Structure 1
Amino acid sequence: MTDLHVRKMRFAFADYDVPFLWNERNPAFSSMANAVSFLAIGFEKMIVQLITELMPRITDPAVAEEADAFMRQEGQHSTAHRQHVKGLIRRYPGLQTTLDEVIGAFDKLTAQTSPEYRLAYTADLEATFTPVFKLMLDNDSSLFRPGDDRVASLFIWHFVEEVEHRSSALVIFDSVVGSDLYRMRQAPSVFKHVLDVIKIACEGFNEHVPLEDRKIDALSMFARHRRAQRVRKLLPWLDHTDHGPMPRAFDDLPLGQQLVALSGVVRSQMPRHNPEHEKLPALAGEWFDRYDEGYDVTYWYTAGTREAN
């Protein structure tokens, strides 16, 4: 039987004004996480369609059960992120166009590529999540705790469940396709597409969210953009729009931890990679324990205070 659990979460984003700058101490991380919300909606819609399409080809009952639980977890993530993004669109209506473009990029991928390619896409990207999200969750005191608790709690829930199903996409890929060489060959185009979609979201933030609300150039997460903007400032005759300061989301995190995460991302694309052997964030275990005990994980940092009041 699969070890995955499908948890339905509601973060009440419709009940309050959802801030774009949800962690005022780290505007770059706020923007990057918001871009993840946009990406998640399109990506996880693609996953649900893909697994539905592949189910008749999955003959191993254990893999079929894993695929079903994986698909249903991702469906819950997509629903929650839609509510988060809907809250942002209420405040910045132009972001509806951005969301449509992001979803359209994944709809195009579904229409124009084979299920084998989309499964490789899913397996490649999902394999990177454990080292990347471990870096984030290990530094929750600066990345999540200072922010809006409901937005922070959304991302913490999503990231710990990505850790929980860290092997699912590769298990399904190995059952249906079973070629590490094929998966590795697709990786360059996969990550180009991911970055292109993130860029769509960030360009939309620059266009539709005033600088006074986002505080930074949302494209600052792209090193090429940072370099180009610096060159344009030195050459004033070039066309140049200043969208704000260009910090990086992880500027304040220990360099050693960043390098460990980077090495984990590289390792995740190698042949015979097994995510079960990855080091896990301590926060994930704490989250699962609290959830099982009935703690209100939709207010990860403040539920105890709320209950006391």
Structure 2
Amino acid sequence: MTDLHPRKMDFGFEDADVPFVWNPENPAWSSMSNAVSFLAIGFEKMIVKAIIQSKPLMTDPVVAEEAMAFMRQEGHHSTAHRQHVKALIRRYPGLQNTLDAVLGEYDVLTEATSLNYRLAYTADLEATFTPVFKLMLDNEATLFAPGDDRVASLFLWHFVEEVEHRSSALIIFDALVGNEGYRVRMAPSIFAHVMKVIRIACAGFNQHVPLEDRQVDSLSMFASHRAKQKVLTLFAPYLSKGTMPRAFDGLPLKEQFTALAGAARSQMPRHKPEHEKLPALADAWFKRYDEGYDCTRWYSAAPSDQSIGSRSDR
């Protein structure tokens, strides 16, 4: 029996405008996480289609149950991120073109690649999430707490549920494909596609969101772009798209390297996500949810120990 619990959440993005820089203390992180919202809609739409296509092939009822719960969680994530992105589009209508381009990339991927490839794509990308999201959740006091509570709560919910279903995509891949060598070989093309989609989203931000609103060059998360822009602005400073900080500049380097090593380890054969170190905030989130707290307002509706799992508590 699966341990996953699909939770449908409404973060109230229609109640008031959603700022592009939703964490005013970290515009680069705001831009990066907004790009994740765009990617999540396309990626999770692809996952749902792949699971539906896989369902007739699932002969093990345990795997089938895991897949259905995983699909429901991902479907809820896609819906919530779509509401976040819809709010950004209301403010910056040109971003509809950016969303269409992102969705188009995943629609093409669904049509042009095999089911095995898309299951490998899902397994490879999902395997990176626990170490990467641990870095983010362990630093929630910096990345999330200073920001818009709706957006912060959306990402906290999404990331802790990714930790909860950290093994699901590999369980499905192993049951239906069962070829670790294939998964490892496909990883370079998979992550090239992920970065292509993120770049499309960030380029769209630069094009459709005024600099005074985004505050940074949204492509600054790409080292190649930072190097190119530094040279370019020496000769043509008027072409600058904004400053180029990194989203994680303020986080401890040791923790960043640990997350990077964990992401690399996740692509190795015989990787088992259940053995990964988990963020303390995940347990705190599930506990609060089970106790009936409003987790769509993690900070403003939380009990007095709201910083549990943050750096100050470790």
The answer to whether TM tops 0.5 is: yes
Per the alignment, residue 29 of structure 1 pairs with 29
Q: CA deviation at 1:15?
A: 1.1
**Residue type of the partner of 1:60?**
D
TM-score (norm 2): 0.95
Letter in 2 for 1:168: S
Show the counterpart of 1:3.
3
Residues 69-218 of structure 1 correspond to what in structure 2 (within 5 A)? Answer: 69-218=69-218
Q: Distance in 2 between matches of 1:30 and 1:244?
A: 14
Q: Deviations over 1:27-52 (max 9, x none)?
A: 00000000000000000000000000
Unmatched 5+ residue regions in structure 1?
Answer: none
Distance 1:145 1:198 in 2: 24
How far apart are residue 305 of structure 1 and its match?
7.7
Identify the match of residue 287 of structure 1 among 265, 285, 288.
285
RMSD value, Cα = 1.2
1:16 corresponding residue in structure 2: 16
Matched to 1:212, the amino acid is E
| Mean Cα deviation higher: 225-234 or 209-218 | 225-234
- 1:67 corresponds to which residue? 67
Q: TM-score, normalised by structure 1?
A: 0.97
Aligned partners of 2:39 and 2:19: how far apart in 1?
Answer: 18
The CA deviation at 1:231 is 1.4
Distance 1:305 1:173, change over 3 A: closer
Residue number in structure 2 paired with 1:244 = 242
1:227-306 matches, cutoff 5 A = 227-236=227-236, 241-304=239-302
Aligned counterparts of 2:231 and 2:207: Cα–Cα separation in 1: 21
- Partner Cα distance (2:233, 2:81) in 1: 36
Secondary structure at 2:239 match in 1: coil
Q: Which amino acid aligns with 1:136?
A: M
Report the Cα offset of residue 240 of structure 1: 7.2
Letter in 1 for 2:27: P
- C-alpha separation between the residues in 2 aligned to 1:15 and 1:59? 45
Distance 1:61 1:138 in 2: 35
Contact 1:130 1:280 in 2 (8 A): yes
Q: Which amino acid aligns with 1:281?
A: P
Partner of 2:312: none
Q: Cα distance 1:115–1:206, how it changes in 2: closer, same or farther (>3 A)?
A: same
User: What secondary structure, in the 3-state scheme, does the structure 2 residue paired with 1:14 have?
Assistant: coil
The CA distance in 2 between the partners of 1:221 and 1:103, in whole Å, is 21
In structure 2, distance between residues paired with 1:84 and 1:46: 19
Whole-Å separation in 2 of the counterparts to 1:153 and 1:202? 22
CA contact (8 A) 1:102 1:197 kept: yes
Kept in 1: contact 2:153–2:297 (CA 8 A): yes
Instruction: Give the conservation status (yes or no) of the 8 Å contact 2:233–2:239.
Output: no
Q: In 2, distance between residues paired with 1:234 and 1:294?
A: 55
After TM superposition, the runs of 4+ consecutive aligned structure 1 residues lying more than 2 A away are 233-236
Who is 1:223 aligned against? 223
How many residues in Structure 1 have an aligned counterpart in Structure 2? 304
Deviation at 1:241?
2.3
Query: What is the identity, as a one-letter code, of the residue corresponding to 2:110?
Result: T
